[in-house]
Structure 1
Amino acid sequence: MLRDLAERPFVIGHRGASGYRPEHTEAAYRMAFALGADAVEPDLVATRDGVLVLRHENEISGTTDVASRAEFASRRTIREVDGRPLTGWFTEDFTWAELATLRATERLGGIRPHSGSFDGRYPILRFRDLLGLLDAATDESRRIIRLVAEFKHATHFAALGLPLEELFAAELSAAGWGRGDDRLVSESFEPGLLDRLVSAGVRGTRVLLVEDRGAPYDLVAADGSSAKRYDAFVSERGLLELGGIVHGVSVGKGRLVGGRTEPAEGAPPRRPRPDAPLRGSDLVDAAHAAGLAVYTWTLRPENRFLAPEFRRGSSRGAWGDWLGEFTRIMDTGVDGVFLDHPDLGFEARRSYFDSEELL
């Protein structure tokens, strides 16, 4: 029988242990498992022949060696993805057999030269490869390791005849996951994709990803400038409307760092307008009241990614006061945190609860 050793907040290995090895590689996922991650998070995009592969984006010049491969030079093109023109190489223009010849590279090489030293060592993975790795790690550890699958550019792929939800359901069934179980979390920036997962028979937890600005692209494609914006989903009213439709929201950490806005000394407490976007513990409390879990992304220790008050020194790649920021975020009551370095998540969680016990 599997043991569920996870505590709250869940420590989720973002694309594996992507702070130590190039993201979405077997080495990154194996390291996340070895470090004890409660869950791992792959990004899913599709090939021309309908294979789900693990890449940060469908444009792959920043995470593979495709730009150096002469045989694929003619595949460089301009595509419109979610309303924006992009130039590069796109997974939907390749078969899986072609992508399998590529090798992964570190996306943040200027910040993480150690991880960049592994460029070219590892092939890219299919979703089915990760399911196999996850099952093997679960059997070996005898503990529940969750899978948090993020769907990228669902509207874009649907227009190409590559419905991600159907490909996903088929992969789960083929891997013996029975279209999902208690280990599975599905997340997307597009609420329509989460609805279609239900229609495809995919079980598990569904989470709406919330950007810091703008609106979900599927709503923009349908409603244009009148599309419901992300801010509206994280208001008190918006969270109540999401309750019962999805199981949680996942927000960029900028919506949480800084915590609750306190009134001036002596002033009466201020209640936010029902349609005002919430931040910090106000957001988490309102989500919990609506029956929703809250996750946040992405916790990273380098100065470049820390809020200004937690940066130390002038080097963007140097580690700042990551423990201070991570524990500040945990103090909001968040249910799960995505990190590139899962071990730092456990250290922050221990530090936070140790300090709570001293109060």
Structure 2
Amino acid sequence: MRTNTQEPSIEIISHRGASGHRPEHTLASYELGARFGGDFIEIDLVATADGHLVARHDPEIGSTTDIAERAEFAERRTTKVIDGAEITGWFAEDLTLAELKTLRATERLPRVRPDNAAHDGEYEIPTLREIIDLAKKLTAELGRPVGVYPETKHPAYHRSIGLALEPPLEAALRANGLHGPEPEVPVYLQSFEADSLRALAEVELPLVFLMGTEKHWRRYRTPEGLAEVASFAHAIGPAKDLVIARDSEDNLTEPTSLVDDAHEAGLLVHPFTFRSENRFLPANFRSGDDPNAYGGFAAEYEAFFEVGVDGVFTDHSRHAFLARELFEQGE
């Protein structure tokens, strides 16, 4: 069992940075997330044609960059099958890093977050090295650790096209002093694929197994399944509905046993993803009729903090930070 020995605490994981306030996976978003109180910069990693790791939500980059407006890349538009899904668009692995650096980030949810869309075109696509450098800089400036929390995105797919993510990720971590029991800044490594985590075991960092709500995840949600997870990971990152379910009217209900069962197996629990807009909140915590307005986000955090989660993935680090302060003051 890979029992995690870190001190219990509620970690704030800035999901793609402060993605509720800036276009996701940009240095501006990452920095704002940390300055808003985030303990970790969460990163989705994909590969370029020449093997560099960059931060994008998925290999398809048409929805998060301005590539569709760039005539020089029009012929790169294609259709691919990734993990069984047919996707049409532009893909990071079809561009070199130099080509990708000519693009600019755009807001993925412009109708939900129009203020973010106002920043379209301002920011480059960051590399893993640039993000690590930022985390070290913020750690020095803020006087507290700002860690990194990279995810290998679709690692089996990347492996199938000859661009395995794990070797360059491990090399980057080692080159920057982010390996072993005392990395220069804190690190978690995450993936939905157990084989990817197993391939990263030698860097001796906490590994997080992500779990969705789909049927094929059910076996991992039992005590026996969690014991299996503990043989190759230190934590789970479950969809938050697996921690506290919602009823048919989308209200938050009673907690499941997942947190207690995971802790019994020696695993930390970092559920995803907390968002403050009404459209994402449980119905009993929404406020007003505007789906894009902020609702009672503090009440949702409190419900999960009371269950005993060890961290939260959040698009709104400041809101998570304030909710944690209120919760800790009330203990």
TM-score greater than 0.5 by the shorter chain: yes
Checking the alignment, whether the CA contact within 8 Å between 2:235 and 2:269 is kept in structure 1 is yes
Q: Tell me what 2:315 maps to.
A: 340
Q: CA RMSD in A?
A: 1.7
Question: What per-residue deviation string (whole Å, max 9, x for no partner) do you get for residues 229-257 of structure 1?
Answer: 21111112111222232101101111123
Distance between the aligned counterparts of 1:235 and 1:308, measured in 2?
A: 28
Q: Tell me what 2:143 maps to.
A: 142
Q: Tell me what 1:64 maps to.
A: 65
Deviation at 1:133, TM superposition (A): 0.7
Q: Tell me what 2:153 maps to.
A: 152
Q: 2:191 aligns with which of 188, 196, 210?
A: 188
Distance between the aligned counterparts of 2:229 and 2:14, measured in 1?
A: 26
User: Compared with structure 1, are the counterparts of its residues 237 and 176 closer, same or farther at alpha carbon in structure 2 (3 Å cutoff)?
Assistant: closer
Deviation at 1:29, TM superposition (A): 1.2
Q: Tell me what 1:114 maps to.
A: 115
Checking the alignment, whether the CA contact within 8 Å between 1:252 and 1:296 is kept in structure 2 is yes
Checking the alignment, whether the CA contact within 8 Å between 1:62 and 1:105 is kept in structure 2 is yes
Tell me the amino acid that sits aligned with residue 127 of structure 1.
Answer: L
Question: What per-residue deviation string (whole Å, max 9, x for no partner) do you get for residues 171-207 of structure 1?
Answer: 2233343578441110000001001112xx3221001
User: Compared with structure 1, are the counterparts of its residues 7 and 342 closer, same or farther at alpha carbon in structure 2 (3 Å cutoff)?
Assistant: farther
Distance between the aligned counterparts of 1:26 and 1:39, measured in 2?
A: 13
Q: Tell me what 1:172 maps to.
A: 173
Three-state SS of the structure 2 residue aligned to 1:79 is strand
TM-score, normalised relative to structure 1: 0.84
Q: Which stretches in structure 1 are left out of the alignment for 5+ residues?
A: 1-5, 215-228, 260-278
Alignment of 1:28-177 (within 5 A): 28-177=29-178
TM-score, normalised relative to structure 2: 0.91
User: Is it true that 1:292 corresponds to 2:267 in the alignment?
Assistant: yes
Distance between the aligned counterparts of 1:133 and 1:20, measured in 2?
A: 18
User: Is it true that 1:246 corresponds to 2:248 in the alignment?
Assistant: no
Checking the alignment, whether the CA contact within 8 Å between 1:304 and 1:317 is kept in structure 2 is yes
Q: Tell me what 1:197 maps to.
A: 200
Three-state SS of the structure 2 residue aligned to 1:162 is coil
Distance between the aligned counterparts of 1:133 and 1:354, measured in 2?
A: 31
User: Is it true that 1:230 corresponds to 2:198 in the alignment?
Assistant: no
Distance between the aligned counterparts of 2:158 and 2:180, measured in 1?
A: 20
Deviation at 1:89, TM superposition (A): 0.4
Distance between the aligned counterparts of 2:226 and 2:173, measured in 1?
A: 30
Aligned length: 316
Checking the alignment, whether the CA contact within 8 Å between 2:179 and 2:205 is kept in structure 1 is no
Three-state SS of the structure 1 residue aligned to 2:299 is helix
Distance between the aligned counterparts of 1:99 and 1:203, measured in 2?
A: 31
Q: Tell me what 2:276 maps to.
A: 301
Checking the alignment, whether the CA contact within 8 Å between 1:281 and 1:333 is kept in structure 2 is no
Distance between the aligned counterparts of 1:75 and 1:21, measured in 2?
A: 27
Q: Which structure's CA Rg is the greater one? A: 1
Checking the alignment, whether the CA contact within 8 Å between 1:281 and 1:332 is kept in structure 2 is no
Three-state SS of the structure 1 residue aligned to 2:112 is coil
Tell me the amino acid that sits aligned with residue 298 of structure 1.
Answer: T
Taking every aligned residue pair, what percent have the same amino acid on both sides?
A: 41
Checking the alignment, whether the CA contact within 8 Å between 1:184 and 1:204 is kept in structure 2 is yes
Distance between the aligned counterparts of 1:100 and 1:181, measured in 2?
A: 32
Deviation at 1:33, TM superposition (A): 2.1
Three-state SS of the structure 1 residue aligned to 2:138 is helix
Deviates more, 1:169-178 or 1:331-340: 169-178
Q: Which stretches in structure 2 are left out of the alignment for 5+ residues?
A: 1-6, 247-253
